[in-house]
Amino acid sequence: MRMATLEQIDALVSARKSFVGIPTWKPNPSKPERSELLVPLRCGLDFGLRLELRAHATLTAVQQRGGLVLIVEGQPVQRINILPHGPHTNPFRPEVPAELRGIRLPPQLTRIYLWADGRYLPAKTEVGKSISLDTTDFDAAVSYFLKITGIEGDIPSPPHTPRLFA
């Protein structure tokens, strides 16, 4: 595994990307209540770095939950957490933008972790902010992430059979 530079990650995050192959949801053998997706990505830049999109989604939660992560050479650089169970507090480090330092985001609030808000290596995706869109719609949150991450194409909806009591 190669280590990407900050400049390479900047270029990859801002570049247009497309799927290599067809994105397909698969069962997670270790967590039967979840389904997962892993699809390689390509872009016009040739740094020799592995670029991929990973995702997970609940199968039976009444409101589908999950997340997507843009990964560069094994490092998460940008992600979205759709309707998470737990709260999140941003760190107070000086490299975190002042308006995001110490923000506490409650559970059930979809949050986005942008590369530009926590730009350092090894890549960490700790600095979150809430997004204002109808995030009770899982597919809308996925489309939003693909758009802001510059990924062309669509991901099929993950399997979802909501149950009140599992």
User: When comparing pLDDT for 95 and 134, which is higher?
Assistant: 95
Cβ distance 139 to 157 under 8 Å?
Answer: yes
Determine the residue type at 133. L
Cβ distance 69 to 124 under 8 Å?
Answer: no
**pLDDT tens-digit readout, 76-85:** 999 999 988 8
pLDDT of residue 164: 77
**pLDDT tens-digit readout, 107-142:** 988 999 999 888 877 777 889 999 877 666 889 999
pLDDT of residue 131: 86
Where in the chain does DSSP place strands (E)?
A: 17-19, 26-27, 34-43, 51-58, 66-72, 75-82, 88-89, 104-105, 111-113, 129-130, 151-152
